[in-house]
Amino acid sequence: MHDRSTPSRTPVTDHLRTTGAWNSAWDSFAELDPAWTEKFVEAGATPFARGVLDQKTWELIAIAVDASCTHLYAPGVRRHIRAALELGVTKEEILAVLQAVSALGIHSMSLGAPILVEELAAQTAQLGNTQASNI
């Protein structure tokens, strides 16, 4: 556990907490291993910190990541939509990002629907065999 009496060596984590960008789900990570957590959040912040992407693009990417079916982090979606709107991103641009990322979820149907069809066919065949053997 982190000894709070020693000086912080987690400037990125501290900055996220100060600015309200901290995800409270990371609290237990930070408590158990502050150095690992610092590297984790630093890795996520590096692309933005390098300045290669403009802030509008960064906010749109952050919306996509937070809204994706593998993340679904509503506070982040809200924070990044708010920031994007403040930067002049249009509702149509944000909607396009949400529509694009929603396609990730279709893979659940692409995987699950054929299996359902196969299992229903197998069940129907099994019921048919059971009924035939009862005659």
pLDDT value of residue 8? 66
In a domain, 112, yes or no: no
- Side chain identity, residue 59: E
Number of domains in the chain: 1
Per-residue pLDDT at 122: 93
Indicate whether 71 pLDDT > 70.
yes
pLDDT score of 6: 54
- Domain presence at residue 134: no
Residue 78 within any structural domain of the chain: yes
Average pLDDT of the segment spanning 21-30: 88
pTM here is 0.69
CB burial of residue 41 (10 Å; 0-12, 13-18, 19+)? buried
Q: Is 123 within the bounds of a domain?
A: no
- Is residue 14 predicted with pLDDT exceeding 90? yes
Choice among 20-29, 33-42, 55-64, 118-127 with the minimum mean pLDDT:
20-29
The mean pLDDT of 50-66, rounded to a whole number, is 92
Residue 101's domain comprises: 11-106
- Whether the per-residue pLDDT at 3 is higher than 60: the answer is no
Please indicate, yes or no, if residue 59 is contained in any of the structural domains: yes
| CB neighbourhood size of 21 (10 A) | 16
pLDDT over threshold 70, residue 2: no
100: domain CATH number is 1.20.1290.10
Q: Is residue 91 part of a domain?
A: yes
Kindly report, residue by residue over 74-90, the tens digit of the pLDDT. Answer: 988 999 999 999 999 99
Is 25 a domain residue? yes
Buried b (16+ CB within 10 A) or exposed e, 80-111: bbebbeeeebeeebbeebeeebeeeeeeeeee
Q: Is residue 118 part of a domain?
A: no
